[in-house]
Amino acid sequence: MGFEVTILGSSSATPVYDRHPTSQYLIFRDRHFLIDCGEGTQMQLLKYKIRYHRISHIFISHLHGDHYLGLMGLLSTFHLQGRNTDLHLFGQQELMDMLEMHFRIGQTKLRYNLIFHPTRHYTPEIILEDEEISVRTVVLDHRIPCTGFVFEEKPRPRKLRIEKLNELGVPISAYPRIKSGADFTTTRGLNVSNAELTEEPQPVRRYAFCSDSAYLPGLAEDIRGIDLLYHEATFMDDHSERAAATFHSTAKQAAKIADQAQVGRLLIGHFSARYKQLDGLLDEAKSVFPNTELAIEGSCFRVE
């Protein structure tokens, strides 16, 4: 089933060279999430023909403008176009304070329910969990409070060996128990182990979005074994002092985190406006972690 992320914006503080501020569109099965919402996000959604009214949850990492200034416009568009389904918004409390000020000054009462979930920037927490997925935060090291997000698929039940079940005459009513790990006893008293009746399910898939942050070695433990990691890479290593001063990372540092965490693949983004060409950033990251790709806008990456 689908688990993929589309890059809507990959620039740092300012839009430049046809790159836009940070935003990503995540599909998990039939769920549609938006991660950060920089200026111009709704235009990017239109450009890539994304049916944005299907978005049910929006996650905002922190309150620097290049990560949320597109949000008010998107919420207003939902309102003007008659949205009537609930929208869940996750972010720090100050985000809702600002939105409420906009609504009050503009005398706007949304036609849909905007359900706000305040996040804590100082400790990791599970902010969304159901039978299909869990979403948890990771604490990052930026100039202001900032959190990353880890999207993790819940374990699937074991896969039934239908031919074997038919051969043994197992009733359909027993299938749920067997999928949950139970053995089966035939009418003749023969006990058949679950391993003979089922196959291992597909391993769970995980995506981590690590927004603005200085190099943070301890982060590796929070994202160990992630299938696909997005990590900011604002600068190249020859600007490591500038990266440290602004609480950002270099491409090489992002790759070190990926290597330390033993992730499957690394995406780097949040590129400084000083870089018109991005090959140098990619080469630098790949020198440490070869399985690295650029978060190019419009590109779609499967989590597998």
Q: Which residues of 275-302 are buried (b: 16+ CB within 10 A; e: fewer)?
A: beebeebbebbbebbeebbbbebeeebe
* Identity at 53, one-letter amino acid code: H
Q: 86 catalytic, yes or no?
A: no
Residue of 66, 212, 222, 227 marked active site: 66
Give the other-Cβ count within 10 Å of 63's Cβ: 17
* Nearest alpha carbon to residue 80 among 62, 100, 106: 106
Q: Please state whether beta strands 23-28 and 31-37 pair in parallel, antiparallel, or not at all (unpaired).
A: antiparallel
Q: Contact at 8 Å (CB) between 268 and 256?
A: no
Q: What is the dihedral of CA 63, 118, 22, 213, to 10 degrees?
A: 70
Which residue numbers are catalytic? 66
